[in-house]
């Protein structure tokens, strides 16, 4: 069984290998002023988040998960590490479609060992811990306030951005209504990358990093009876290829999804 320490040994190498320059047909060079133009804002966001070409983009994800119960201070629950593969396809000048697959593993907060069972500190129950699997298709508009999975038509809004000391920051937020008697899910994401790569017309994917905060409902396997939420603090790095994942993580992902690195 691979330990979190083994996984983390590969992180530095994975980050160093997180290149992304793919020389294809060159689009016009991007200028800072164009980030306030909806069509160019969306193109920049896709280049920062993924790839302007419809090819797989791999990301290495890691973070911490805390529990939130009204009237109590946040409680440390577990850590997480995962792998994501996404293909971005242009639908129109104001819309892209993303086909994404994610596999997430939970780790003990203290020992950072892979969790298969976990004692819930809220109810003292022994819980079987499954891997997290997401296999979704969603929409990305130039207007970040629009629901990505809604049936709404794209509007001509612009995603918030900041350019600070040569680093571009672009922001995404999503609010998903929760089931009856439950809080809505809230996702807040910031992608950052080198502005020089953003304006290079020969690069279709810029190297980037992700900072992500999410509030979501308890997982069913936790058997929670009291109201509350999970509070995720996650960081990610876009990798150059599936070969850039830490070697110790790869068999764990393949054990969950043998075809994850195919296609």
Give pLDDT, residue 14: 42
Residue 198 lies in a domain: yes
Residue 262 lies in a domain: no
Give pLDDT, residue 174: 72
Does residue 221 sit in helix, strand or coil?
A: helix
Alpha-carbon span 29 to 107, nearest angstrom: 43
Q: How many CB atoms lie within 10 A of CB 142?
A: 25
Q: What percent of the chain has a predicted confidence (pLDDT) above 90?
A: 71
Give the range among 23-27, 59-63, 133-137 with minimum mean pLDDT. Answer: 23-27
Alpha-carbon span 206 to 159, nearest angstrom: 17
Residue 25 has pLDDT above 90, yes or no: no
- The answer to whether the beta carbons of residues 31 and 199 sit under 8 Å apart is yes
Q: Domain limits at 17?
A: 4-256
Residue 61 has pLDDT above 90, yes or no: yes
Can you give the pTM of this predicted structure? 0.82
pLDDT tens for residues 105-144? Answer: 999 999 999 999 999 999 999 999 999 999 999 889 888 7
Give the range among 92-106, 145-159, 163-177 with minimum mean pLDDT. Answer: 145-159
Residue 82 lies in a domain: yes
Give pLDDT, residue 186: 78
Average pLDDT over residues 38-55: 96
What is the distance in angstroms between the CA of the first residue and the CA of the last residue of the chain?
27
DSSP string, 121-145: TTT--EEE-PPEEEEEEEEEESSTT
Residue 80 lies in a domain: yes
Confidence of residue 4 (pLDDT cuts 50, 70, 90): very low
Residue 47 has pLDDT above 60, yes or no: yes
Residue 42 lies in a domain: yes
Residue 200 lies in a domain: yes
Residue 263 lies in a domain: no
Alpha-carbon span 10 to 12, nearest angstrom: 6
Residue 261 lies in a domain: no
Domains of the chain: total: 1
Residue 35 has pLDDT above 60, yes or no: yes
Residue 8 has pLDDT above 70, yes or no: no
Q: Is 104 exposed, middle or buried (0-12, 13-18, 19+ CB in 10 A)?
A: buried
Residue 198 has pLDDT above 90, yes or no: yes
């Amino acid at each position: 069984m691979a330990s979190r320490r083994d996984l983390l040994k590969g992180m530095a190498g994975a980050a160093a290998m997180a290149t992304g320059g793919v020389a294809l047909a060159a689009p016009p060079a991007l200028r800072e002023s164009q980030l306030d133009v909806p069509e160019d804002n969306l193109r920049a966001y896709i280049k920062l988040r993924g790839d302007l070409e419809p090819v797989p983009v791999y990301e290495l994800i890691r973070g911490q998960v805390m529990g939130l119960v009204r009237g109590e201070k946040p409680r440390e629950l577990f850590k997480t590490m995962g792998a994501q593969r996404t293909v971005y396809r242009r639908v129109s000048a104001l819309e892209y479609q993303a086909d994404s697959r994610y596999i997430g593993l939970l780790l003990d907060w203290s020992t950072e060992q892979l969790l298969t069972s976990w004692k819930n500190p809220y109810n003292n129950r022994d819980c079987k811990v499954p891997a997290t699997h997401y296999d979704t298709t969603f929409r990305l508009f130039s207007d970040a306030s629009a629901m990505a999975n809604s049936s709404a038509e794209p509007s001509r809004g612009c995603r918030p951005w900041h350019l600070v000391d040569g680093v571009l920051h672009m922001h995404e937020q999503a609010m998903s209504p929760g089931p009856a008697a439950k809080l809505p899910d809230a996702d807040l994401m910031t992608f950052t990358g080198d502005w020089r790569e953003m304006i290079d017309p020969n690069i279709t994917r810029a190297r980037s990093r992700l900072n992500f905060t999410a509030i979501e409902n308890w997982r069913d396997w936790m058997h929670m009876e009291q109201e509350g939420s999970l509070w995720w603090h996650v960081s990610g790095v876009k990798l150059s290829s599936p070969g850039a994942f830490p070697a110790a993580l790869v068999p764990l992902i393949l054990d969950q999804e043998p075809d994850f690195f195919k296609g």
